[in-house]
Amino acid sequence: MQKEKIQHKDDMTITLPSDKEVLITRTLHAPRKLVFEAMTEPRHLREWLGPRAMTITVADADLRAGGAWRFVHPASSDHQNALCGQTATRTYQAQNRSRQ
């Protein structure tokens, strides 16, 4: 696989280290503490995570090693999408599940 690098004007870089990996790196022009809180606290995750047209109705995140995380958003009036997994050391192992 050929390595590819794409530079975006908003300080985001996408690279393809192998045929099974996508690495997205982004520089955020904000205080570290604020970025950390936005990425780890459920009350903030509800505000920005996922497509703009969807609202997250459940946001749980225990970021300790072995902790669980779960995000749910309605897909229609009778269907919900859930993304959940378990926190590993500095890595997320995700499962995408659909719930009705």
Within this chain, do residues 24 and 39 fall inside the same structural domain, yes or no?
Answer: no
Q: Above 50 in pLDDT, residue 76?
A: yes
- Residue 72 tokens read as 């749910």
- How confident is the model at residue 1, as a pLDDT? 46
What is the average pLDDT across 46-71? 82
CB 31 within 8 A of CB 39: no
- Residue 57 tokens read as 């109705």
| Cα gap 2→47, rounded to integer Å | 37
Within this chain, do residues 56 and 42 fall inside the same structural domain, yes or no?
Answer: yes
Within this chain, do residues 73 and 25 fall inside the same structural domain, yes or no?
Answer: no
Within this chain, do residues 23 and 38 fall inside the same structural domain, yes or no?
Answer: no
Within this chain, do residues 59 and 95 fall inside the same structural domain, yes or no?
Answer: yes
- How confident is the model at residue 2, as a pLDDT? 47
Tell me how many domains the chain contains: 2
CB 60 within 8 A of CB 72: no
3-state DSSP percent of the chain in helix, strand and coil, to 5:
15, 50, 35
Range of the domain at 21: 1-30
CB 63 within 8 A of CB 87: yes
73 pLDDT band (50/70/90 cuts)? confident
Within this chain, do residues 16 and 1 fall inside the same structural domain, yes or no?
Answer: yes
What is the CATH number for 69? Answer: 3.30.530.20
Q: Above 80 in pLDDT, residue 31?
A: yes
CA 16 to the chain's CA centroid: 18
What is the average pLDDT across 24-47? 84
